[in-house]
Structure formats: C-alpha cells, structure tokens
Structure 1
Amino acid sequence: MTLQQLRYIIALDEHRHFAKAAEVCMVTQPGLTIQLKNLEEELGIKIFDRDKVPLKPTLAGREIIIRARKTLHEVDGIRDFVIGQKDDLEGTVTLGVISTLSPYLIPQFMKEVRTRAPKMHFIIKEMNTSQLIESVLTGAIDVALMATPTGHLLLREHVVFNEPFVAFLNEGHAMGDNAFYEIKPGDTQNLLLLRQEYCFNAQLLDICGINKGNEFMGEQFNYDISSVETLKNMVRAGLGFAIVPELSLAHDADAHYKRFKEPAPSREISLVVSDNFIRKLLLEKMKEAIWEVLPASLKEGKKYRRIQWNDSPYFINAVSSLK
C-alpha cells in the first residue's frame, strides 16, 4: 500500500470517473486502474463497485476512503509542521464556510487576507454545519468558519465574533412600528426555515422557544431551499417572516427588520480546526482579516445571548435521521 494509491482512491471517490480522476492525478487511466487493482488485491477487498454508473464505493470501500483521508491528512500535517515552524504564510489552505455566512463575509475577507498573507492560496467551499464538522475531522478541509460551539472534543474553536440575529419582516407585519421585535405565539407558525441547515434552524427554534421542527408554511406547500436570500424574498412576498443573521442585511437598502432587545440572541462565529492543526500564525492572520472587514456595529462589545445548537433536540433528531 502506498500513499499514491491512497490519493488515487480519494480522487476516484471525488470524481466517480476513472478518466477524470486520472487527469486530476496526472496519470494515465490504465495506470490508475492498475494501481487500484493492485491495492484491492493486496487488501483482499473491492473498494469500488465498477458496475455502478457513476462509480460507487462499496460499503467497505467507504471506510477505507475515510481512513485514507485521515492518513493523508496526517502526512500533509508533517509538511505543514515544517511550514508552521518557520512561520511562513505560504502554501494552500482549504477553508469551509457555513452557507448562511459565506455570501456576506467571504468576498470582503478574501480581499483583506490578500494583504496579510499574499503568498497563501485559499480554496473556499460552502457547506452546511454537519458537512463542515465531518470535513475538518477527516481532513477534507483545513479550517471551517462556522457557528460554535460544536461540542466535539477533537475540534479546536477560535472565536472571532458574535453575530446577532434580527427579525426580517414584511411591510404589513404587526410589529413593524415597534422599537424591537418580540416573539408572539402566533408568529411561530409563519417562521421560515432553511432545509438542510439544521444548525441554523435549531438556533431559530431556540430563539422562538420551540424544541422541534414543524412544517411552518402550513399544508398548502412545502419548500426545500438553503438560501437566506430566498427566505428574504419569501418574506417580501408576504409568505411569512424570517430570523436572519445581521450580516445578511448589509446591502439591503429596503430591508424591513427589527432588532431584539439586549441581550439580543446571537451566534458565535469561530474558525474551527482539528486538534492537530498547528498553523497558528495563519489562523491569527485569518482572524485579523475577518475582524477588519466586519461592520462597526459588530465590534461594539454589546451584550448578546449566545444561541447554541449542538445540544438542540431538533438538531440531534434531524442529523440522526440522515444516518
């Protein structure tokens, strides 16, 4: 078994196609096929089901691929250790970002981080919370920018800032003339949620004092969306209301929103890495870049009520149903 063989099976898992994987690995397709066959014969296990289109890992193959990712992550960690020892800000880092934050922060962050780490190459991936956690643990990404705490013992969380939630209302909402928004019993049936964003939804339900998810749009239709912008447009169309992160309103000149009274509910945003991540200088530069591009309102040191999600019954049940 060689490290190169492990890289080949990871490429096959990512692309599910021999020709594409071979191209990425800069090897001929026959050469990749032979190496896969050699590895399968050595292990005595089929890693991929070649009868499936697209290519699909076998049950045992999935476990081998997970372990291969961890192994290569450790190997790459040796290289990163040398770089970290020299405090060099060079090389490539893969940053995963929660999808409810990425559109509103990453463009400004990337412009700023260029000045602080000009020799670093960043690969940005949008993911939901569950995907971010799994990807950091397996080494598929190096750093996650996400809501915390995760509650995971193998992850290290470096808090960057707190982002308050605000109520996004349509023009005719009964609370439109109030100074602050307060949850009313009837409002919960009109709360719009994001499908697949279980962490985000768990926080919203906590704010509303609800411990389980419902079909909030009633029986007329269900929806399957994952964009805060789509939620806001649904509110504008009079189809309910939304609780959204404050950064999502930065460019909304016509936004109809109300803040919550202090201590306002907020989510803690952190850079999350595995417990063997050692590039402390890189994390510091990333934190500085993020802080620099935040609006002044998020730097004022206001009192917030941090909304956790990892112990929410809704989150636990939602994630369990995916397994």
Structure 2
Amino acid sequence: MTITQLYYVLAVAENQNFTKAAEKCFVTQPTLSMQIQKLEDELDVQIFDRSKKPIELTDVGKKIVIQARNIVNESYRIQDIVDQQKGFIGGEFKLGIIPTVMPTLLPMFLKAFIKKHPKVKLKIEELTTEEIITRINDGHLDAAIAATPLEEENIKERALFYEPFVCYIPQGHRLHGKSKIEIADLDIDDMLLLEDGHCFREGVINLCKAFKDHTDDEFQLESGSIETLIKLSNEGLGMTLLPYLHTLDMRENEKKNLHYFSEPSPAREVSIIFHKSELKMQIIESLQEVIAGIIRGAIAFQDVKIISPIHKK
C-alpha cells in the first residue's frame, strides 16, 4: 500500500470517474486504474462499484476513503514540519472567502500579505459557507474566512474580528427618524434580504427571530448582492442590514441612511477556519496576524453581541 495509491482512490471517489481522476492527478488512466486495482487486490476488497454509472464507492470503500484522507493529510504534514523547521513560508495556499466578506476584506489585506510573503501562491475563491465546509473536509481548501461559530466537528476556528450589523433605512421608512435602533424595532416583513445560501442572511433572520416569530415563507424580496439591496432600499422597498465594512466606502448621500444599534450592537464573528489536521499552519497564522493588524484600525466597536450564522428553525 502506498500513499500514491490512496491519493488516486481519493481522486476517483471525488470525480466518480477514472478518466477525470487521472487528469486531476496528471497520470494516464491505465496507470491510475492499475494502481487502484493493485490496492484492491492487496486488501482483497472492492473499493469501487464499477458497474454503476457514475462509479460509486462500496460500503467498505466509503470507510477506506475516510481513512485514506486522514493518511494523505498526515503525509502532507511531514512537508509542513520541514518547512516550519526551515522557517519557510511559501507554496500554494487555497483560501475560500464568503461573498459578504470578500469585496471589503480582501482589498484591505491582500497587498500587505503578498508583500510580506512573496513566496506564497494564494489561490482565492469566493464560496458560500456550505461550499467552504465541504471543500475543507475534502481537502480542497487549506483555509477559509467565514462567519462563525459553525459548530463543525472537523473544523477549527480562530476569530479575526467582530463586525457589527448596521441598519440602512431610507427616508420615509418608519424607523428613519430614530437615532439608535433597538433589535425589537426590526420587522422581518419589511426587511430586504440576501438570497438563500448567504450566511449573513441567516444572521439577519436569527436576529429578527429573537424578538418575533416568523417563518421563512413570509420573506418577499431577496437579492444576490448587498449593492442591489441598497438600491432596492433607495427605491423605498424596505430597509436592510449591512455588515459594517460595507458602509465605509458608501457615497455621502447614502451614509445619511445609516443607523446604528444601541449597544451591545449585534455583530457577526468573522474567523479564519481550517481543518483540525492543522496543515500549513505557518501560512494560516501569518494570514491571521496580517488581517488582525489591518482590521484593528477599521473597526473600533467593542461592546457587541454575536449573532449566529447557522440556520435556526
């Protein structure tokens, strides 16, 4: 049994196709198939049911894949140990960022991080929280920046900052004249929301449900972007809630519609998250240090109440 064979097994399990798996592993399909067949012969079991289209794992194959992923991850740790011993911070690093954090946070830290660590090749993707969790568990992301806590057994979280919620209330709205907003003032029925799949949406829903009992089918108007929510609100179609960093670069005429909550302000916890196997920790720790140093000057709020991003029924 070799680590390469286990790596090939993981590739086939993910792609459910020998040809696609071979392409991902940069080997020929006969080579990959032969190595997996050797492993199956050695173990005297069938890992894959080749009669199914697409290919499926057998019952024992599912258990083998779980263990194979642990072994392959641990093999990567050896290179990590060597890199840390040498003080080397470099190589490819795959980072996921949720959509409501990406446009505001990434421009703040990316240039500083690249300048500090030019040997790190960052590959950054904008992904939903659900996609991030799947990819971290499958070993396809080294880390991610997401709203927490997520309560995922295999994922560790390190808080980067606490980002308050800010109300965007257009003129003519019942709350526009209030200097400070209370959570009890919110009514989900006149709230513009992000589309399903955004964790910030779930945070807003959880915040409103703390005081009023509503069901998801009452929500009327949703959008895929915060910018669109602001435009819809400007048209008098309702108020919305924004993450604080989104308010920093707004036009002056739109800033007049910003209203802050009474303390403690509801806020989301934004963290760097990674698999509990803790691979590439030297890069993760450096990202945490760079982001924390930059964000400290942007968010001065201290007295906050963390709102969960997890969907609550």
User: Normalization by structure 1: what TM-score?
Assistant: 0.78
Amino acid in structure 2 at the alignment position of 1:267? R
Amino acid in structure 1 at the alignment position of 2:268? R
Q: Is the 8 A contact 1:104 1:247 kept in 2?
A: yes
Q: Which one of the candidate residues 214, 226, 229 is aligned to 1:228?
A: 226
Alignment partner, residue 12 of structure 1: 12
Alignment partner, residue 92 of structure 1: 92
**Shift of residue 67 of structure 1?**
3.6
Q: Partners in 2 of 1:180 and 1:43 — Cα distance?
A: 69
**Shift of residue 138 of structure 1?**
4.7
Alignment partner, residue 247 of structure 1: 245
Q: Is the 8 A contact 1:145 1:271 kept in 2?
A: yes
Does residue 168 of structure 1 match 2:168? yes
Q: Secondary structure at the match of 1:215?
A: helix
Alignment partner, residue 57 of structure 1: 56
Does residue 31 of structure 1 match 2:56? no
**Shift of residue 264 of structure 1?**
1.0
The superposition leaves residues 198-249 of structure 1 with CA deviations (integer Å, 9 ceiling, x where unpaired) of x43442133222566412334xxx76x6543444444345443322211233
Query: More deviation in 12-21 or 86-95?
Result: 12-21
Alignment partner, residue 215 of structure 1: 217
The superposition leaves residues 80-131 of structure 1 with CA deviations (integer Å, 9 ceiling, x where unpaired) of 1221233321222222222321222124322221012111122223333344
**Shift of residue 286 of structure 1?**
0.9
Q: Partners in 1 of 2:278 and 2:47 — Cα distance?
A: 33
Alignment partner, residue 105 of structure 2: 105
CA gap of 1:295–1:25, structure 2 versus 1, over 3 A, is same
Q: Partners in 1 of 2:98 and 2:151 — Cα distance?
A: 17
Amino acid in structure 1 at the alignment position of 2:273? V
Query: More deviation in 40-49 or 17-26?
Result: 40-49
Q: Partners in 2 of 1:74 and 1:205 — Cα distance?
A: 40
Alignment partner, residue 205 of structure 2: 205
Q: Partners in 1 of 2:276 and 2:186 — Cα distance?
A: 44
CA gap of 1:144–1:202, structure 2 versus 1, over 3 A, is same
The alignment yields a C-alpha RMSD, in angstroms, of: 3.2
Q: Partners in 1 of 2:3 and 2:213 — Cα distance?
A: 46
The superposition leaves residues 54-80 of structure 1 with CA deviations (integer Å, 9 ceiling, x where unpaired) of x35346355544443332112111211
Q: Partners in 1 of 2:6 and 2:213 — Cα distance?
A: 43
CA gap of 1:14–1:155, structure 2 versus 1, over 3 A, is closer
Query: More deviation in 70-79 or 40-49?
Result: 40-49
**Shift of residue 164 of structure 1?**
0.7
Q: Partners in 1 of 2:95 and 2:235 — Cα distance?
A: 35
